[in-house]
Structure formats: structure tokens, C-alpha cells
Structure 1
Amino acid sequence: MSSHGTFCTVFDCMDGRTNDLVNAWCRTNFGVDHPDTITIAGCDGILISDAGERERAFKLARISAHHHGSKQAVVIGHSECAGHMVPNEQHKIDIEQATKLVAAPGIFEHVVGLFVDVRTGEIVEVCRI
């Protein structure tokens, strides 16, 4: 664990409308002080479709896990995403697939997939691994 508090890792879109909502969710549900954020435009879609970008994200995730002691991660998809323009139901399917991919290397003890509705601020848990 870091001497600077507790951490989790967030795989999130670059869209700033999700940041505060997701960080608050992490603090409440994981009890952490600091969410480390790996930012990818259209994160849920890119993680499942671009192996190179996924490996780059995993490299950053290992830094979060090994140097900050992060044991938990969240994978975010959201409504109105300019980087992955699909219907909300497709985001949820992609979030579940991306969450499985993030969990597969065993970097984290728990990985949760979340869908954020940026209009309402609602966060829906899609899956938990």
C-alpha cells in the first residue's frame, strides 16, 4: 500500500462528465482515498477492440497495482460517448466484455463494470468479477 492513502484503478473515458461521479462511487464502494485513472476515449469499446491500447492500459494498471497498492478496478462506459458511439445497451455488453478482459491478467482482486448515464448522473453496476 502507498504511504499516501489507498487506491483503486479506473479505466475511464476521457469525457470529464464521468470523473466526479465515478471517483465518488469508488470512494464510497471501495473505501479508497484515491482513484488512479487510465483514460481512453471510448474506453469500453477500445479495450475490447484494440489489443495494443489494451496492453498500454494494462501497463499503467500494473503501475497502479504495484506502486499504489490498488487491488480493485472499475471499467467505465457511458451514455453520449463520442469515442464509442453505440446505444446504451451495447455499451453495457461492451463493458461486461471489457471487464472480463481487465480481470483476466489477475492484476486486481476485484473488477467492476459500471455504466454512467451522463444526463442523470446514475451509475449502474453492469458486472462484478
Structure 2
Amino acid sequence: MANGTFATAINCMDGRVQLPVIHWMKEEYGVDYIDMITEAGPTRVVLRGTDKEKESIQSKIEVSTEKHGSEVIAVAGHFDCAGNPADKDDKIDQIKSSIEVIQAWSPSSKVIGLYVNEEWQVEVVEQ
């Protein structure tokens, strides 16, 4: 087991959303580190990606949960995403659907949804 406590974020590769998600999760869950799994438009990949893309995310979740002891997994979408352009309502729906998929991949984890808005603030997506 790694030193320190961990949570996991499946986040966009867009650098603008990295720190808001990291800071929010560290504060909300009192963990030391966030394992960041990044994709261009992560909800698009979770919902409509190739089997290989989905398996890559799943294997990284396994490392985070099994080797780092992460118990919380966030899936995040954001305003102005180049990898998955969609309006906020569509993005929220995608995040909710992604939560269900990820929960099936990692049934013992708590899976949450996050949306990073146009002011780069984190909003919780209620399931």
C-alpha cells in the first residue's frame, strides 16, 4: 500500500480542470493525493469509447483502488471541452450515465460526478 491516502479522478486532459478537481477532492475527502486518469472528453470515452479505451481506464482504476487504496472515484466533465463538446445539460446527463458505468466496473468504490463550470469551480452532479 502506498504512503498517504488517495482518491481517484477520471478527468479531462484539459489543464484548466486539473487543479480545481484536485483541490476540491482533497478538501472534500481529506485525502493526500488524487490519482488522475485523463482523457480528452472522459465521459465520451467511458460511454462511447472503444473496448481498448475503456479497458485502459478500468485498469487504471484497479491500480488506484487496489494499490493505492482509493475508495472514491470521481468522473468529471467541464465547460468548453474540446474533446467532448456538449452543452451543460448534455454533459450532466453524460456524467450521470458515466457514474453508472464506472460503479459497475468498481462496485466497492464510491463513484461521484463533478462538473467544472465556466468559472472553473467544481459542482457536484447529483445522481
For normalisation by structure 2, the TM-score amounts to 0.93
Hey, what does 1:127 align to over in structure 2?
126
Q: How far apart are residue 44 of structure 1 and its match?
A: 1.2
Hey, what does 1:67 align to over in structure 2?
67
**Percent of counterpart pairs with the same letter?**
31
Check conservation: 1:6, 1:69, Cα contact below 8 A.
yes
Hey, what does 1:13 align to over in structure 2?
12
Q: Distance in 2 between matches of 1:101 and 1:122?
A: 25
SS where residue 36 of structure 2 aligns? strand
Hey, what does 2:28 align to over in structure 1?
29
**Any gaps of 5 or more consecutive residues in structure 2?**
none
Query: Aligned Cα RMSD in Å?
Result: 1.3
Hey, what does 2:78 align to over in structure 1?
78
Q: How far apart are residue 123 of structure 1 and its match?
A: 1.4
Q: How far apart are residue 51 of structure 1 and its match?
A: 4.3
The code of the aligned residue for 1:22 comes to V
1:43 partnered with 2:23: no
SS where residue 37 of structure 1 aligns? strand
Deviations 1:100-126 (A, max 9, x none): 111112354211100001x31221111
Hey, what does 1:58 align to over in structure 2?
58
Q: Distance in 2 between matches of 1:55 and 1:125?
A: 26
The code of the aligned residue for 1:73 comes to I
1:110 partnered with 2:110: yes
Q: Distance in 2 between matches of 1:51 and 1:20?
A: 28
Q: Distance in 1 between matches of 2:85 and 2:71?
A: 30
Hey, what does 2:96 align to over in structure 1?
96
Check conservation: 1:42, 1:83, Cα contact below 8 A.
yes
Check conservation: 1:75, 1:98, Cα contact below 8 A.
yes
Query: How many positions carry a matched residue from both structures?
Result: 126
Would you identify which runs of 4 or more consecutive aligned residues in structure 1 move more than 3 Å? Answer: none
**Any gaps of 5 or more consecutive residues in structure 1?**
none
For normalisation by structure 1, the TM-score amounts to 0.92
